[in-house]
Amino acid sequence: MRREIRLGWGLVAPALLWTAAFFVLPFAAMLALSFAHMEGRAVVQGFDAGNYIRAFTDWSQLKALINSVEITATVTVVSVLLAWPLAATIAWRVPARWQRLALLMAVLPFWTSYVVRSYSWLLVLGKTGVVNRGFALLGLGPFEMASTRFATVLGFTHFFVMLLTLTIYANLVQLSPNYARAAQDLGASRLRTLWHVILPLTLPGIVTGAFVTFVLCIGDYVTPQILGGNNELTLPQLIMLQMGRGGNFPMASALSVILMAVVTLAYGACAKWLRLDRL
Amino acid sequence: MTPRFPKTLTALALLATPALAEDQLNALVWCDHTDPALLEPFEKANNVKVNVKEYEGTAAGMAILDQSQPGDWDVMVVDSVDVHRLVEAKRLAPMPAEALPTADFFPELVMAQNNVIDGKTYAVTEKFGYNTISYDKTKVDPKDMEDLTTLTSGKYDGKIGIYDYYLPVLGLVALEKGIKTADISAANLDSLKDPLMALRKASKQVSDVTASQTALATGEVDILVGGGEWLTAVLAKDNPNLDWTIPKQGGLRWTQSIGVVEGAAHPDLALKFVQYIVSPEGQAALAQSSCYWGMPANKKAGDLLSPEAKTVLRWDQQPDYLARAQLYPIPDAATDTAMQDLWTAMLNQ
């Protein structure tokens, strides 16, 4: 038994060491730094909650947090609404031999650079971009789409629909068709079957994908920076602003800890349904 | 038994730091120094490999130095207004002044007050340009661009982009209010708030270099506040309509310097690299770097630039431009923080 325990510890030791070295220790350092403060251009260590107080009382700082949560929530909901029907279509309507190709097509956007994809959207949504040119043919526009929150949400959604499609698809193909048959035998309409049987059973896939979307989206700097035109700041942009020339690492650390806390809250809200093994 | 753990750590540390071989030079630079056309002549002439790492923002550069071992970095490019900051942090080593061709420089670019401290030369100016107004001359009246107040008159609302760097843009706003950039302080910063917010209200976006270039080139905006030759020069061939000017209130002059890092592993080679960068050949290549163009500090580079390149750089207008442009503000820590806070409030208004 002791040998088995030792073997068990031996097997998990590399992962534990890795996590300790590259997550726990850096996070502890960041947490400690978040309670430091600046004197002139020098970081002074100590226990000062000033950075956190400022993050929640200075409107320009708090607004970045609100913007981040609003954008991330919008992206997550829109992505789920688009991904579920897409995943269901691939799982139920596309013949089995074509499903791989369909999934491949669904994840194609992952193959291009994230930055390049964001700049591409900027060109597509611009005044002289393909969308406005299309509207012009109909005698409409031009519409201001680039450098807006709409552009940021669109850029994010384009990426995350693909991710969610994969997690929901993985859930759907494991569902036995007998659930739907049983519900319909008992007199449920197709809509009721979908709402009361299928949807709840795919909840783990939806929540898993939604949680990953939330985590990646709220921590992303590139998309709002390129597509949002800096017309509103998100938390990662505010963190970068603190670093740049000023080097206010304590404030940047405090904002990073807040970002982490928001993600932890999201995890708490989803924990019941989370199935990260489905990723 | 010899402990293996420290050896493993040492090996990991070596992997994490720049190469230290004799024939390698490690340079902490801005993107214009990554152009092979600039580096290759030096590499071939000295049989050396120049490893470059880009950084943005002086604090970010200093953080990289903080996290490195002494000797990891040989040379560093820095905003000229921040040379003092690096020297105070003991990050730059003195160079022999006589080894640098500053006698061939535009006099305004020697900048001894920035590069020389207590009689020791810690850096040398290598490139400069202007943060002023870039515009599409087919879409705006060029005469309007000669006056900064036109930008907030309502005529160009929604057609303006702002370069995302608070120092030059706040400097331009100060010039509009008749405040010299050198006089900006925490005390008078409040007077810049309303004009800055008005400019923001009239603008469509606040963007970095690439997004600013894209916006101007695609017609997303017609005017770029904080732009200049560095923004339009690389676009000039495909977009001859793009132009820039220094308005009557003046513009800002940006300058970058280069120096040898304190404790450099290859100080002689590092000095040689600095000498190459400020030589006419190095200056001509740096001026036309693929990342962004800018005027060379060394006048003798003019002999190696084509007439077309000189036209794009406005070589002949430099005496007038230099007279009308002011240096970036050099804020103390408190003013710098106040300026950043104002900038953040402007972005999130």
**CATH level 3 topology of B22-128+254-319:** D-Maltodextrin-Binding Protein; domain 2 (3.40.190)
What tokens does B125 get?
A: 């100016």
Best B64, B196, B344 residue to mutate vs chain A (most A CBs within 10 Å):
B344
Whether B340 and A63 lie within 8 Å, measured CB to CB = no
Confidence of residue B230 (pLDDT cuts 50, 70, 90): confident
Amino acid occupying residue B238:
D
Res B1: pLDDT: 34
- At residue A213's C-alpha, the angle toward residues A210 and A218, to 5°, is 125
Tell me the CA end-to-end span of chain B in Å, nearest whole number. 64
Buried b (16+ CB within 10 A) or exposed e, A175-209: beeeebeebeeeebeeeebeeebbeebbebbbbbb
- Any idea which architecture B130-253+326-347 has in CATH? 3-Layer(aba) Sandwich (3.40)
pLDDT higher than threshold 80 for residue B13: no
Hey, where are the domains in chain A? 66-278
- Please tell me which of the candidates A61, A231, A245 has its beta carbon nearest to residue B205: A231
Nearest to A254 by CA among A226, A273, A267, A235: A235
Nearest to B24 by CA among B235, B264, B319: B264
Is omega for the bond preceding B280 within 30 degrees of 0, making it cis? no
Q: Is the CB of residue A248 less than 8 Å away from at least one CB of chain B?
A: yes
Whether A249 and B63 lie within 8 Å, measured CB to CB = yes
Task: Give the DSSP letter of residue A196.
Answer: I
Q: Where does chain B have alpha helices with state H?
A: 5-16, 36-46, 58-66, 83-88, 112-115, 166-176, 190-202, 209-218, 229-232, 267-277, 280-287, 307-313, 318-324, 333-347
Res A275: pLDDT: 62
d(CA B275, CA B129): 21
- Please tell me which of the candidates A38, A225, A233 has its beta carbon nearest to residue B344: A233
Query: B110 CB contacts (<8 Å, ≥6 apart)?
Result: B102, B125
Contact between residue B280 and residue B301 where contact means Cβ atoms under 8 Å apart: yes
**CATH level 3 topology of A66-278:** MetI-like fold (1.10.3720)
Contact between residue A79 and residue A256 where contact means Cβ atoms under 8 Å apart: no
Distance from CA of B302 to the nearest CA of A (A): 32
Whether B206 and A233 lie within 8 Å, measured CB to CB = no
pLDDT higher than threshold 50 for residue B2: no
Q: Which residue has the tokens 């040398």?
A: B124
Confidence of residue B210 (pLDDT cuts 50, 70, 90): confident
ipTM of the complex: 0.81
Hey, where are the domains in chain B? 22-128+254-319, 130-253+326-347
B258 three-state secondary structure: strand
Res B8: pLDDT: 43
Contact between residue A246 and residue A259 where contact means Cβ atoms under 8 Å apart: no
Res A19: pLDDT: 94
Neighboring chain A residues of B336 at a CB cutoff of 8 Å:
41, 245-246
- Among chain B residues, the shortest Cα distance to A233 is held by B348
d(CA B91, CA B98): 21
User: Which pairs count as long-range contacts for A104-108, CB under 8 Å and 24+ apart, including other chains?
Assistant: A106/A162, A106/A165, A106/A166, A107/A162, A107/A165, A107/A166
Q: Other C-beta atoms within 10 Å of A131: how many?
A: 17
What tokens does A218 get?
A: 């709220």
Query: B209 CB contacts (<8 Å, ≥6 apart)?
Result: B163, B230, B231, B292
Res B301: pLDDT: 98
Res A109: pLDDT: 76
What digits encode the pLDDT tens for the residues B142-195?
Answer: 999 999 999 999 999 999 999 999 999 999 999 999 999 999 998 999 999 999
Amino acid occupying residue A240:
M
- What average pLDDT does range B96-112 have in this prediction? 97
Res A278: pLDDT: 53
- Among chain B residues, the shortest Cα distance to A60 is held by B345
Domains B22-128+254-319 and B130-253+326-347 share a fold: yes
d(CA A25, CA B227): 43
Q: Digits of tens for pLDDT over chain A (279 positions)?
A: 688 899 999 999 999 999 999 999 999 999 999 999 999 888 999 999 999 999 999 998 999 999 999 999 999 999 999 999 999 999 999 998 899 898 888 888 778 888 889 989 988 999 889 999 999 999 998 899 999 999 999 999 999 998 899 999 998 998 998 998 999 999 999 999 999 999 999 998 899 999 999 999 999 999 999 999 888 999 999 999 898 777 899 999 999 999 999 999 999 988 877 765 555
d(CA B291, CA B127): 13
Q: Return mean pLDDT, chain B.
A: 91
With the C-alpha atoms ordered B173, B177, B179, B185, is the resulting torsion angle positive or negative?
negative
Tell me the CA end-to-end span of chain A in Å, nearest whole number. 33
Res A105: pLDDT: 85
pLDDT higher than threshold 60 for residue B21: no
Contact between residue A168 and residue A209 where contact means Cβ atoms under 8 Å apart: yes
Q: Other C-beta atoms within 10 Å of B155: how many?
A: 12
Neighboring chain B residues of A146 at a CB cutoff of 8 Å:
205, 220
- What average pLDDT does range B76-80 have in this prediction? 96
Best A115, A118, A132, A245 residue to mutate vs chain B (most B CBs within 10 Å):
A245
